[in-house]
């Protein structure tokens, strides 16, 4: 069985959602990102020297890091789930295009907002960059239900996770109604609810 190393509400929520959406059996191992210790005991840096979640430990013991790679690996274990189109197709490249956009333009613009030593002006620039990207997302989501079409694929789990951090940083999504509607739509999915409950993010 694969094992997902996660921290509640962190970017590891994305592969956690994808695991539940895929139906692949898995177990969870909680990580303390400050102390780099595993909840069950043990040193997380021995699992991932980068000290970051998500990490997926495969059945054969291999370790896979980097969220965009992990979600595609999971989707490819269950191609019938439709969570990612077949590798090599233009539809798959569009999935990768979204994953790359989310990781580089959204995820890493949020990171300084969570660091206590980020200067206020830098935080302000990060928030402006995010607002600009949210404007783009809002236009795209005016055209379709999910990022790549009318069905949920792996970048939706990632976008939902990262855009969801807005609530911790006083960014009101009501400014972008299509994006807000999309967040509500993803949040209502039963497997998304299950993942959030398992991480203690929902009652």
Ligand X SMILES: N[C@@H](CCC(=O)N[C@@H](CS)C(=O)NCC(=O)O)C(=O)O
Q: Give the range of 20-28, 51-59, 138-146, 182-190 binding ligand X by CB under 6 A.
A: 51-59
Contact with ligand X (CB under 6 A) among 2, 18, 67, 102: 67
52 interacts with ligand X by CB under 6 A: yes
Q: Give the range of 16-24, 46-54, 124-132, 136-144 binding ligand X by CB under 6 A.
A: 46-54
Contact with ligand X (CB under 6 A) among 29, 66, 105, 140: 66
- Say how far apart CA 1 and CA 11 lie, in whole Å: 21
Q: How far is the CB of 43 from ligand X (least distance, A)?
A: 14
Beta bridge partners of 4: 28, 56
Per DSSP, the residues of 9-52 read TSTTHHHHHHHHHHT--EEEEEEETTTTEETTSSBHHHH-TT--
2 interacts with ligand X by CB under 6 A: no
HSE-up (13 A, CA, CB side) for residue 172: 2
Crossing angle, helix 67-77 and helix 13-22, to 10 degrees? 0
The footprint of ligand X on this chain (CB under 6 A) covers a number of residues equal to: 10
CB nearer to ligand X: pick between 67 and 155: 67
Cis check: omega of the bond before 54, within 30 degrees of 0: yes
11 interacts with ligand X by CB under 6 A: yes
Could you give the strand order of the β-sheet that contains 55-57, starting from the edge strand earlier in sequence?
Answer: 37-38, 26-32, 2-6, 55-57, 63-65
Q: Give the range of 49-57, 78-86, 166-174, 176-184 binding ligand X by CB under 6 A.
A: 49-57
13 neighbors 31 (Cβ within 8 angstroms): no
Q: How far is the CB of 54 from ligand X (least distance, A)?
A: 6
105 interacts with ligand X by CB under 6 A: no
In terms of Cα–Cα distance, which of 53, 59, 45, 69 is closest to 8? 53
Contact with ligand X (CB under 6 A) among 23, 51, 135, 142: 51
Contact with ligand X (CB under 6 A) among 2, 4, 17, 53: 53
Residues found near ligand X in the complex (CB under 6 A):
10-11, 33, 51-54, 66-67, 103
């Amino acid at each position: 069985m694969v094992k997902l190393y996660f921290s509640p509400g962190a970017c590891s929520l994305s592969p956690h959602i994808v695991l539940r959406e895929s139906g692949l059996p898995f177990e969870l191992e909680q990580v303390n990102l400050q102390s780099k210790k595993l909840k069950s005991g043990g040193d997380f840096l021995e699992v991932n020297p980068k000290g970051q979640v998500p990490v997926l430990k495969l059945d054969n013991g291999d370790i896979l890091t980097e969220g965009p790679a992990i979600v595609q690996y999971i989707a490819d274990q269950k191609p019938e789930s439709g969570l990612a189109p077949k590798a090599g197709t233009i539809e798959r490249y569009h999935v990768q295009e979204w994953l790359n956009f989310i990781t580089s333009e959204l995820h890493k613009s949020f990171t300084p907002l969570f660091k206590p030593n980020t200067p206020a002006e830098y935080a302000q620039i990060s928030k402006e960059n995010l607002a600009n990207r949210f404007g783009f997302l809002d236009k795209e989501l005016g055209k379709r239900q999910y990022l790549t079409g009318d069905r949920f694929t792996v970048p939706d789990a990632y976008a939902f996770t990262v855009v969801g951090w807005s609530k911790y940083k006083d960014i009101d999504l009501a400014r972008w109604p299509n994006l807000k509607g999309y967040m509500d739509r993803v949040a209502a999915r039963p497997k998304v609810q299950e993942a959030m409950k398992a991480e203690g993010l929902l009652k």
